[in-house]
Amino acid sequence: MTDPIRPFINLIESIAGAGSSQKNRDVSSQRTAGKATNVASSAIAAVPFSERLATRLSVIDRHDRKRRRQAFVELALLSELGQQIAVDHAMGELVDKVSSIIAADHQMTAELDDILDSVGS
């Protein structure tokens, strides 16, 4: 059985270890290569994950840790599975389920919160 949160761990490690915006672009490009199905998806994928995350976090209250983690999960799912799932009615349930799995791991939650604070500042 594959680990359902492995893609999120990879993204967390990618954000935490990114030393430059070029490195983020390279990682984002590698991750999204072949996944973009139209021009809009390609344009979104061209923006590094950390920049899209920072933009999304900028409109969420810093003290609303749960919503900040959900925003991360949603963006990660869209990055991994493609923008076309954004309109799927089950997307909200999937975000909630994955967020719950992450929240159950207190160490991962603490690390993710620290990373989201650094990205969102």
Separation of alpha carbons 83 and 81, rounded Å: 7
For the segment 2-20, what is each residue's pLDDT rounded down to a tens digit?
555 566 666 666 665 654 4
Domain presence at residue 2:
no
Domain presence at residue 94:
yes
Domain presence at residue 76:
yes
DSSP per position, 45-72? HHS-HHHHHHHHHTTS-TT-HHHHHHHH
Domain count, the chain: 1
Q: Is 36 helix (H, G, I), strand (E, B) or coil?
A: coil
Full domain range(s) for residue 89: 20-119
For the segment 71-116, what is each residue's pLDDT rounded down to a tens digit?
999 999 888 888 888 888 888 998 999 999 999 999 999 999 999 9
